Amino acid sequence: MARNQKPIRSDIAWSVSDRIEVRGKDLPGEILGTLNLGDVAYLQLTGSMPTPEQSRVFNAIVITLVEHGITPSSLAARLTYAGAPESLQAAVAAGLCGLGTVFVGSMEGASRMIYEALENAGETPDLEAIAESVVTDYRSRGEIIPGIGHPVHKPIDPRTPRLFEIAEENGMYGIHIELMQKIARAAERASGKQLPVNATGAIGAICCEFGFPWKIVRGFGVMARAIGLVGHILEESENPMAVEIWQRVEDEATAHIRPQA
C-alpha cells in the first residue's frame, strides 16, 4: 500500500523563462531598485512588506549585527581564507559557525527567555516579579542569562539605548523590551555586577516585539554577519594578518618548550 504523501509546497519564489517572482512580487519590476536589503529580508521571512516603521526598526537591528571588529568569527574567517583563498564561501562559513550562545546568537536565547517568561503571565503581568523569577531560575541552574553583560562595553553597551530609541520612535517599544530591561536590573541586584542589556539582548527583545519566532532570530545575525565577514576577507586579501596571527600565537604558545637560541 502506498503511503500517504504530504504535498511538497513552497510559497517563497518561482521562476519561468521571462519572470522571477519572490513572495508575490516581480523581482525586476517591483523589487530591484525599489526595496533595500533589509526590506527584502523582511519580505522573504514574513511574506509581507514592512511598514515604514517596521522597515526602520528591522534595518537597524540587522545593521547592528554586521560588524564588531576583530572577533572570533572574523578571525576564523581570516584564518580559513589564509589556508584556502580559493574558497571564499568556506571562509565565510567558518566565521558563521561560531555564532552561538556566546557570540551574536545569544539574541535567540534572549528572545526565547522573554517569550517563555511571558507565556502564562496574563494580560497585566507583574514584570518586576517575572524578572526576579527569571534571574533566580538562571542563577539556580548556574547558567548565564542571555542578552545581558558585555566584556568590553561597560557600564552601557552603546548600541542598546539607540536600538531602544529607534524602537520607541517607531511604535515598537513594548512589554518585551520592558521585561528585558527589568531582567538586567534584577541580575545586577542579585550579582552586584554591572550587567547592562547588550546589543543581542536588545535585538532579542525587539524581535519579540515583531513577533518573530525565537527559533529564527539567530538567523538575523547569520545573514548580517555574513556581510561583515566578506568585508574582512576582502581586507585580508589586500592587507593580510592571519598568517602573522598564526605565527605569533604559535611562538607564544610554545615558547616554554622551545630550545633557547
- At residue 261, the pLDDT reads 67
Angle (CA) 235 160 104, round 5°: 50
Contact residues for 76 (Cβ-Cβ < 8 A; gap 6+): 94, 95, 97, 98
Q: Residue 150: its pLDDT value, please?
A: 81
pLDDT of residue 3: 73
Single-letter amino acid, residue 113: M
Confidence of residue 27 (pLDDT cuts 50, 70, 90): very high
CA distance 49 to 220: 17
Average pLDDT score, the chain: 94
Q: What is the pLDDT of residue 105?
A: 79
φ and ψ of 155, to 5 deg: -80, -5
CA–CA separation, 71 and 232 (whole Å): 11
Residues ≥6 apart with Cβ < 8 Å to 220:
41, 61, 62, 65, 107, 203, 207
What does pTM read for this prediction? 0.91
User: How far apart (Å, rounded) are the C-alpha atoms in residues 234 and 238?
Assistant: 6
Question: Which amino acid is present at 48?
Answer: S
Mean pLDDT over residues 34-46, rounded? 96
pLDDT of 1 > 60? The answer is no
Model confidence over 192-219: pLDDT tens digits? 998 999 999 999 999 999 999 999 999 9
- Distant-in-sequence, close-in-space partners of 132: CB < 8 Å, separation ≥ 6: 186
CA distances from 255 to 97, 182, 260 (A): 30, 48, 9
Rounded to an integer, the average pLDDT of 222-251 is 95
Q: Is residue 2 scored above 70 in pLDDT?
A: no
| Grid cell of 42 as nine digits | 523582511
Region 230-253: mean pLDDT is 95
Tens of pLDDT, residues 75-134 = 999 999 999 999 999 999 999 998 888 888 789 999 999 999 999 888 889 999 999 999
The residue type found at 196 is P
Give the helix/strand (H/E) hosting 16. Answer: strand 13-16
Q: Is the pLDDT of residue 186 over 90?
A: yes
Domains of the chain, start order: 18-50 (no CATH), 106-215 (1.10.230.10)
Residue 242 confidence (pLDDT): 96
Tally of CB atoms within 10 A around 74:
22
The torsion of the CA quartet 220, 222, 226, 228, rounded to 10 degrees, works out to 70
